[in-house]
A and B are shown apart, each in its own frame.
Chain A
Amino acid sequence: MIPGQKQLSNLEELLEGIWKQNPVFVMVLGMCPVLAVSVSAVNALSMGLATLFVLLGSTLLVSLLRNVVPREVRIATYILIIATFVTVVDYLIQAISLAVYDALGAFIQLIVVNCVILGRAEAHASKNPPGRALLNALGMGVGFAIGLFAIGAVREILGAGKLFGFALFGPDFQPWVIMVLPPGGFFVLGAWLLLFNWLNSRKAAPVKPVEGHAHV
């Protein structure tokens, strides 16, 4: 821990990633899988779980090895470890469900370059004992999965009228195809961020003076 920084309680450590430093909504990291696979809630959750698995595994290993690995090669080591766990999860998903595997496609392997994971390894796991590191990783991973799910759910509801494959609006629902297309991904994530910004700005300044408008 950096001296001077307040030691977080275990709960805070866990909540850090879920809420305050949510990788999707606050840090906006690892966007590629977030947008690419979030066309349905199932895909989004699967991706979230896969990422969580890699995050936990690599965090554990990095944390365990934190005193052994020389500084010069630490990044190389982290990448190696992450790539290992990604390969493992790749096979696991294939074994569990080929349909999910096909749906997630290359983005499973692209978890390797997800900045959230490398960022956690570098910023947290390499400086903390396994217990705390895992706690933090769990928070981040769950936060990431929640973010993914939030986007996937919106896209599936509007894009197919379903959630987890269950029709919500009856057979005549007109799907908003754009939601499962690339622009829809950008728009939905953008809209979520807007919503958070808006809530934050309201919280920060309940009676905000009118911003400089061109007409004045």
Chain B
Amino acid sequence: MSLFPFFKNNTFARGVHPDANKSTAGSPIRRMPFASRMILPLVQHIGKPAVPLVRAGEEVVRGQPIAKADGFLSVPIHAPADGVIEAIELKPSARGPWVESIVLRVYEGSTQEIGWRHPPDIESMSPREILQAIQDSGMVGLGGAAFPSHAKLAVPEGTKIHTLVVNGCECEPYLTCDHRLMLEYPEDLMAGIRLAMKSVGAKRAIIGVEDNKMDAVAAIQAAIEKVGPADGSITVQAVPTKYPQGAEKMLVKSLLGVEVPSGGLPMHIGVVVNNVGTLALLGSLLPEGQGMTERVVTVTGPGIKKPGDYWVPLGTPMRTVLKWAGAQDANEQEIILGGPMMGQAVASLDVPVTKGVSGILVFDKLRIEADRKLWPCIKCGECVKACPMGLNPSMLGMLAGRREYEAMGAQYHLGDCFECGCCTYVCPSHIPLVQQFRVAKGILRGKAT
């Protein structure tokens, strides 16, 4: 890269350019009504499951905590609507296995009013208190990983954070929820950013937005001028539109020109990355002392009649969301939670919207079946040119085919793969590389323990 100084700090190497398909970017966020029954898995985040605070038959009001965090790496759950707890039982989850979930029967009269809140004095809070408040709000990263936000903002002793990177890339095709949030709630975003900066002790914040969302850049710029600090500690910067620009390490490279060490975190180079959606929601919830009860979800895809961005109460079953958004009654469909590149297909329509769900995509059968014939690897090298992590997926794939998992991990850096899907996306032989790597990682993890 140093050969081309004028490209420096611009973007990361390699990556792909899938069709954006962001047709929902133009229309405002709408509100989705309550479903009659909500399902709230106790684990909607990475870490230990929350511990229920309620019993079956108990009445709850919207916003009331119904499960508490179990230790540091855990977050509470708040009731998304007024209603009565019907049961605490096993329900299907997006990842497949059935998980312990709180089932809430919603009262028909439940309103959007939050009935339960404790507004704190934000300005006087110490960083530690802010973190506690964040944990109490039940916030997790809304980008998809659902890592508890307070844990991410908790800087270990001795680590110094200089920059907060705010991820407004939304590089996944189809998804527009972050885009809409940036347009509609820039001031909440500012509030969230200041809270996050304070809690990590960062001197500056850079908001990175892909250059296909210049309107969002403008909106943020306006918000900075209006409510932001005048010292220029918060800036917004457009980055080239390229997948996976929104991956932490890629964005840090694009904005700051430094690479996060292999196997390390951005924290190790003094950077904390947070998603715009997370911070915007944080900025609106924390001053009010509210818990997280809903989130913006992009519901779109060729199988949806009324695509758009929706405020969806957490726990709303997929079935209800799709009905509301007008899913076509096709015979065979693929339903994906998250973006098309890294999202997860769900097996059951009873799976609820959880904190980490940024999008619900419905693809129809024709699209699925198109051109998926498998060929042996022809060593075209497209995957090598696509892998943002600088891996050699072609080689990894062939090794996986031979079940040489050890070599994949030891010689070919399988551990650095974050399953962005670029390799599979470009593969003309249609080899399910990402899936092979997922399996290999699982086997290696199994061997390690």
Q: Tell me if chain B binds chain A.
A: yes
Contact surface of A with B, Cβ cutoff 8 Å: 214-215
Contact flags (1/0) for B374-394 with A, using CB distance below 8 Å? 111000000000000000000
6 tightest Cβ-Cβ pairs between the two chains A and B: A214-B376, A215-B374, A214-B374, A214-B375, A215-B375, A215-B373
Q: Interface range on chain B: under 10, 10 to 19, 20 to 34, or 35 or more? A: under 10
What are 6 A-B pairs with beta-carbon distances under 8 A?
Answer: A214-B374, A214-B375, A214-B376, A215-B373, A215-B374, A215-B375
List chain A residues, Cβ under 8 A from B374: 214-215
Of all chain B residues, the one with the shortest Cβ separation from A215 is B374
List chain B residues, Cβ under 8 A from A214: 374-376
CA distance A214 to B397 in the complex (A): 13
CA distance A215 to B431 in the complex (A): 10
Of all chain B residues, the one with the shortest Cβ separation from A216 is B374
Which residues from 100 to 122 on chain B have a C-beta closer than 8 Å to any C-beta of chain A? Answer: none
List chain B residues, Cβ under 8 A from A215: 373-375
CA distance A214 to B374 in the complex (A): 7
CA distance A214 to B373 in the complex (A): 10
CA distance A215 to B373 in the complex (A): 8
Which residues from 366 to 421 on chain B have a C-beta closer than 8 Å to any C-beta of chain A? Answer: 373-376
Q: How far is the CB of A212 from chain B (nearest CB, A)?
A: 10
CA distance A214 to B376 in the complex (A): 6
CA distance A215 to B376 in the complex (A): 8
Q: How far is the CB of B436 from chain A (nearest CB, A)?
A: 14
List chain A residues, Cβ under 8 A from B373: 215
List chain A residues, Cβ under 8 A from B375: 214-215
Of all chain A residues, the one with the shortest Cβ separation from B429 is A214
Q: How far is the CB of B404 from chain A (nearest CB, A)?
A: 16
Of all chain A residues, the one with the shortest Cβ separation from B374 is A215
Q: How far is the CB of B319 from chain A (nearest CB, A)?
A: 35
CA distance A215 to B372 in the complex (A): 11
Q: How far is the CB of A204 from chain B (nearest CB, A)?
A: 24
Of all chain A residues, the one with the shortest Cβ separation from B376 is A214
List chain A residues, Cβ under 8 A from B376: 214
CA distance A122 to B324 in the complex (A): 85
CA distance A214 to B377 in the complex (A): 9
CA distance A215 to B430 in the complex (A): 11
CA distance A214 to B375 in the complex (A): 6
Of all chain A residues, the one with the shortest Cβ separation from B401 is A214
Q: How far is the CB of A211 from chain B (nearest CB, A)?
A: 13
Of all chain B residues, the one with the shortest Cβ separation from A214 is B376
CA distance A215 to B374 in the complex (A): 6
Of all chain B residues, the one with the shortest Cβ separation from A212 is B401
Q: How far is the CB of B92 from chain A (nearest CB, A)?
A: 31
Contact flags (1/0) for B32-54 with A, using CB distance below 8 Å? 00000000000000000000000
Q: How far is the CB of B375 from chain A (nearest CB, A)?
A: 7
Q: How far is the CB of B108 from chain A (nearest CB, A)?
A: 54
Q: How far is the CB of A102 from chain B (nearest CB, A)?
A: 47
Q: How far is the CB of A125 from chain B (nearest CB, A)?
A: 43
CA distance A76 to B389 in the complex (A): 58
Of all chain B residues, the one with the shortest Cβ separation from A213 is B376
Q: How far is the CB of A177 from chain B (nearest CB, A)?
A: 33
CA distance A214 to B378 in the complex (A): 12
Q: How far is the CB of B241 from chain A (nearest CB, A)?
A: 35
Q: How far is the CB of A182 from chain B (nearest CB, A)?
A: 28
Of all chain A residues, the one with the shortest Cβ separation from B431 is A214
